[in-house]
Amino acid sequence: MGEKGIVTLDPIWGLPPDTFVSNNMIENTMPVATITPQVPVFSLGLSLYKTEKAWPQYNELLNAHGFKLRNTPIKVAFLADNFPTDTFSNEYGESFINKITDIASQGAGELAQVLGARTATGAVRGAGDVLAKIGTALPGGAGALLKKVGTAAGEGARSTEAALAKLGSGTGLGAGGANAVGLINRMLAGARVDFPQVWKNSGFSPSYQLTIRLYNPAPGNDYSTKKYIIGPIIALLLLATPQTSDGQTYTWPFLQSIKCPGLFELSPSFIGSTAVIKGGDQQSIAYNQRMGIVDVRLDIGSLYNSMVVGKTKGIEGGRPTLQQYAKVLAEEGSTAEVYDSPISGRIPTPVQPPTTASVQRATTRTVQTTTPTPRVPEQVEDTFDDLVDRARGFLGL
């Protein structure tokens, strides 16, 4: 299983088992995201803190569980079942002017509506007329008093209307002054003014759910189960699990920088939830109860709630910007040759087309023989280590 029992994980997790010449085609057709664990570092300014790579801390934890990475950053191939979605929103609401203009009480507005009045003076006049009629209908001193109060209220309202009209014309503003006085009169009766809404806030809500399907080609083999199932699961859970130093208290998990060229980039980001679906959607479980397939779903979010745009350069803290967003969309991932180059770090099975090696001439005929030209893969050392690890695992060494 490698040095001191440490299992070396594949460079890309989530690819289907080797299928010889189509290996590179599989890698080319699946989106691959790179993940870098990060830790916060305090920074002066409004960003509060920045993030930096945390490979030493991450590798130490991974090695303590019996696994190690072949290379960094972490690469995961995910299914195209729920492609990343970005949502941009703007929130608008009432301005403070709306609150200032709500000068009428709820009772005054309701009274004006019941009396059919459109102005405050009209509501008072209507209320006085009602009281006067009630007083007329009632016998005795109480009726006379109500009639007197109602009559006085009605006359007072009429006098107030005349005074307001005179005030509006005497402001020197002409029709504008009269309109302002009339507006106040109507607002005191519960009238509303529809002012335009103002901007309150903006939001950026990336919805990234990566489904990484892990395949176990030999569930009956301990080494295969560790290398293709247990190792990647532990490595992914290390990114989202809180850490402890004393076994009793725990602190925050790693932050991440996650990027998939042409699709998205979140730096810094966090893993909100992780779902380990044992057996996958196909419920692939071997006879010995070991898993043949495991789906690991990561829900990824951004530490920032907004995306900004502007001419300012060097925005602190890795805040999402429209410039960076457009740059990532214009990028493209690397593609491997379908027939010539093996997948980096995986068992190479390149096709070797025959070439003319020599031509032997005889007195009676010409004989042409063809021999294959050996092709040396680019990552010979990684491939050899992988072969040795597999051999030791199957032999139980």
In 3D space, the residue among 15, 140, 28, 20 whose CA is nearest the CA of residue 79 turns out to be 15
Q: Which helix (H) or strand (E) holds 394?
A: helix 380-395
3-state secondary structure of 311: coil
Q: Point out which residues pair with 67 in neighbouring strands.
A: 7
d(Cα 344, Cα 26) in Å, to the nearest integer? Answer: 13
| Residue 370 pLDDT greater than 60, yes or no | no
Q: Which residues contact 281 (CB under 8 A, 6 or more apart)?
A: 295
| Residue 255 pLDDT greater than 90, yes or no | yes
In 3D space, the residue among 84, 99, 79 whose CA is nearest the CA of residue 207 turns out to be 84
Domain ranges in the chain?
A: 3-90+201-340, 96-187
Share of the chain above pLDDT 90, in %: 24
Residue 356 or residue 162, greater confidence: 162
Q: Which tokens belong to 135?
A: 């007083």
| Residue 49 pLDDT greater than 70, yes or no | yes
pLDDT digits (tens, 9 = 90+) for 177-189: 556 666 666 766 6
3-state secondary structure of 235: helix
| Residue whose entry in the numeric block shows the structure tokens 């030209």 | 373
**Amino acid 239: pLDDT:** 94
pLDDT digits (tens, 9 = 90+) for 20-38: 555 677 777 788 999 999 9
Q: Point out which residues pair with 36 in neighbouring strands.
A: 257
**C-alpha dist (Å) from residue 235 to 4, 228, 249, 296:** 19, 11, 22, 11
CB-count exposure of residue 143 (10 Å: 0-12, 13-18, 19+)? middle
d(Cα 22, Cα 288) in Å, to the nearest integer? Answer: 30
Under 8 Å between Cβ of 77 and 292? no
d(Cα 240, Cα 253) in Å, to the nearest integer? Answer: 6
